[in-house]
Amino acid sequence: MLATLAQAVINGLLIGGIYALVSIGVTLIFGVVKIVNFAQGEFVMIGMYISFFLASSFGVDPLLSLLISMPTLFAIGVLVQHFLIRRVLGLGDMPQIFLTFALSLLLMNVALLLFTANYRTVQTAYSESSFHIGPLYFAVAKLIAFVIAMLLSAVLYLFLHGTDLGKAMRAAAQNREVAMLMGINPDRVFCVAVGVALALAGAAGSLLMPFYPAYPLVGQVFVLMAFVAVVLGTLGNITGALIASLMMGVAESLGVQFVGADSGLIVVFVLLLLTLALRPNGLFGGWAR
Partner 1 sequence: MKKSNSKLGATRLGRRDFLVKSSGALAAGAVGAFNIRTAAAADTVNIGGLYPVTGNFAQIGQGCVNAAKLAVQMVNDAGGIKSLGGAKLNLIVSDVQSDPTVTRTETDRLISSYRPAAIHGAFASALTLIASEVAERAKVPLLTGSSSDQLNKDRHFTFTPFSRASQFALAQLQMSKLVSDQPKVAVIFENTAFGTSTSNGLREQAPAQGVEIVMFEPYSAGLSDASPLINKVKASGANMLFPVSYLNDLILIIRAIKQVDLKIAINGGSGGFVIPDFYRNVGNAAEGLLGVAHWNHDISDNAQKVNAAYQKQFGEFLFEYAGGLVAQTFMIADALERAASTDPQKVRDALAALDVSEGYAAMCPGGKVKFGPDGKNIYAHPVGVQWQHGDLATVFPKEEARAQLIKA
Q: Which stretch binds partner 1 (CB under 8 A): 26-34, 77-85, 120-128, 145-153?
A: 120-128
Q: Does 44 bind partner 1 (CB under 8 A)?
A: no
Least Å from the CB of residue 143 to partner 1? 10
Alpha-carbon distance of 47 to 161, in angstroms, equals 27
Task: Say how many residues touch partner 1, by CB under 8 A.
Answer: 40
Whole-angstrom CA distances from 252 to 29, 30, 287 are: 25, 25, 26
Cβ-in-10-Å burial (0-12, 13-18, 19+) of 127 comes to middle
Q: Does 253 bind partner 1 (CB under 8 A)?
A: yes
Q: Which stretch binds partner 1 (CB under 8 A): 83-91, 99-107, 134-142, 194-202?
A: 134-142
Residue closer to partner 1, measured from CB, 177 or 262 = 262
Using the rule CB under 8 A, which residue among 15, 80, 108, 241 binds partner 1? 15
Using the rule CB under 8 A, which residue among 105, 110, 123, 155 binds partner 1? 123
Least Å from the CB of residue 41 to partner 1? 11
Alpha-carbon distance of 109 to 282, in angstroms, equals 34
Closest among 146, 125, 136, 111 to 220, alpha carbons compared: 111
- Burial letters 47-73, b for 16+ CB under 10 A, else e: bbbbbbbbbeeeebbbbebbebbbebb
Q: Does 227 bind partner 1 (CB under 8 A)?
A: no
- Burial letters 6-23, b for 16+ CB under 10 A, else e: ebbbbbbbbbbbbbbbbb
Q: Which residues contact 35 (CB under 8 A, 6 or more apart)?
A: 29, 85, 88, 89, 96, 100
Using the rule CB under 8 A, which residue among 125, 137, 187, 273 binds partner 1? 137
| 197 in Cβ contact with 32 (< 8 Å) | no
Residue 120 backbone phi and psi in degrees, to 5: -120, 130
- Strand, helix or coil for residue 133: strand
Q: Does 173 bind partner 1 (CB under 8 A)?
A: no
Residue closer to partner 1, measured from CB, 33 or 145 = 145
Q: Does 213 bind partner 1 (CB under 8 A)?
A: yes
Q: Which stretch binds partner 1 (CB under 8 A): 5-13, 34-42, 44-52, 232-240?
A: 5-13
Q: Does 45 bind partner 1 (CB under 8 A)?
A: no
Residues in 59-118 that interact with partner 1 by CB under 8 A: 116-118
Which residue ranges make up the site for partner 1 (CB under 8 A)? 4, 7-8, 11-12, 14-15, 18, 116-121, 123, 127-130, 132, 137, 139, 142, 211-213, 215, 220-222, 225, 252-253, 256-257, 260-262, 264-265
